[in-house]
Amino acid sequence: MNNYIEATIHEIEFKVNGEEISMTIPANLTLVELLRQELRLTGTTEGCGVGVCGCCTVLIDNKVVASCLELAVNIDGKEVLTIEGLADTYQLSEFHPLQTSFREYEGFQCGYCTPGMLISSKALLDQNPDPSDEDIREFLSENICRCTGYDSIIMAVKSAAKKMNA
């Protein structure tokens, strides 16, 4: 005999990148699993799985959240923004200035942390359009990048802020 328990099933309604979705999900599904496995939004990556690395960062009602620790049932009635929706939040160009600046400064190498880094940076610029180096370090304090050494990320965020304020 085994100790297998069925998870409870829940109905949720939410928005992802502006699109309204309603679906039925099991209780033990995390938000990053819902995004990647159910919705095939694979831009959001899962790194450490314990909320420390920041790869899986998404916005829920405009706030940064670790989607690897968030139960998917908790987005019921809420609005989620993932990397796939980032460009559309900026009307003046095809890409969000953060995306352009990260390319220009090579604020990425392997790219695995980049979606979380960009989403976190967007949340920063939303509340602080002209951040200092220190503001950037504080906001991205636990967004781990194992490749770049971070300096190019700081430069990219500042350059994006400049573009958006111009």
Partner 1 sequence: MLPFKLFLPESFEEAIQLMKEHSAKPISGGTAVTTLIKERIFQPTAIVNLRKLERDHSYIREMDGEIQIGALTTLRTIETSEIVKRDLPVVADCISKIASIRIRNVATIGGNLAHADPDLDLPPVLAGLDAHIDIIGEEGERSKNIKEFIQGYYETDLKEGELIKSIRIPVSSDRKGIYLKHRALSEADWPCVGVAAFMDNSPGSIPEVFINSVADTPIMRIEGIEEIFSDGITSELIDKVGELASEQCDPIGDSRGSVWYKRKMAGEFTIRALREVTGVGESLI
Partner 2 sequence: MSTQIPIIEPDRKVEKTSLIGKHVLRLDGESKVTGAVEYTDDLPFEGYYAEVIRSNVPHGEIVSISTEAAESIPGVIAVVTGEDLENADWISPYVGPAFRDQPVLAIGKVRYVGEPVAAVIAERPDIAAVASTEVVVKCKKLRSVTDVVKARKEDAPLLHESGDSAAIFEDLAMVHHSEEPNVAYAYELNVGDLEKGFEEADVVFEKNYATPMVQHVHLEPFVTIASYNAAKNSFKIVTGNQTPHFVRREVARIFGIPSSKVEVEVPQMGGAFGSKTYVRIEPLVAALSRAVKAPVKLRQTSSESFDTSVRDGTQTRVKTGVTHDGVIIAQEVEVIWDSGAYADISPRKVKKAGYTAPGAYDIPNVRVISKSTYTNKPPGVAYRGFGVAQTAWAVESHIDDVAREIGMDPVELRIRNITQDGGTYNGVGIGIHGAPQCLQAVVDEVDWFGTKLEQPSKKHIKKGRGIAVTLKTTITPSTSEAIVLLDADGSVNVITGGTEIGQGIITTLAQITADGLGIGIEYVNVNTPNTNSAPFNTSTTSSRSTFHLGNAILGAVDELKEQLVEFASEDLEIEKSDIIVEDGFVKTSVGNYSISEVVASHFVGGGGTLIGKGYFSTKEGRENRYESAFWMTGATYAEVSVDTRTGKYSIDKWVNSADCGKAIDPVRCEGQILGAAVQALGHTMSEEMVFESGQQVNKSLLDYKVPAIGDVPKESKIIIVESGDPNGPHGAKGVGESNTVTVPPAIGNAIRDACGARVRELPITPDKVLRGIEEASE
Residues 79-138 that bind partner 2 (CB under 8 A): 82-84, 86-87, 95, 98-100, 102-104, 106, 108-115, 118, 133, 136-138
- Under rule CB under 8 A, residue 142 binds partner 2: yes
Please choose which of partner 1, partner 2, none residue 23 contacts, taking the beta carbon within 5 to 8 angstroms, the exact cut-off set by kind. none
Total H helices, total E strands in the chain: 6, 5
Complex with partner 2: residue 12 or 17, whichever CB lies closer: 17
Helices (H), 58-113: 83-86, 97-104
Residues at the site binding partner 1, with contacts judged by CB under 8 A: 4-8, 10, 26-30, 49-52, 54, 57, 63-66, 68-71, 73-74, 120, 123, 139, 141-143
Residues in the chain: 166
User: What does 151 bind: partner 1, partner 2, none (CB cut-off 5 to 8 Å by kind)?
Assistant: partner 2
Q: In the set 26, 62, 126, 165, which binds partner 2 (CB under 8 A)? A: 26
Which positions ≥6 away from 118 have C-beta within 8 Å? 83, 86, 96, 98, 99, 102
Token code pair at residue 8: 């409870």
Residue 12 in contact with partner 2, rule: CB under 8 A: no
Query: Across the strands, what pairs with 80?
Result: 16, 60
Shortest approach of partner 1 to residue 77 CB, angstroms?
10
Continuous H helices in the chain: 31-33, 83-86, 97-104, 114-127, 133-139, 151-165
Cα torsion 7, 63, 38, 71 to 10°: value is -10
> What residue ranges bind partner 2 (CB under 8 A)?
1-4, 7, 26, 28, 36, 40-45, 47-50, 52-53, 55, 82-84, 86-87, 95, 98-100, 102-104, 106, 108-115, 118, 133, 136-138, 140-154
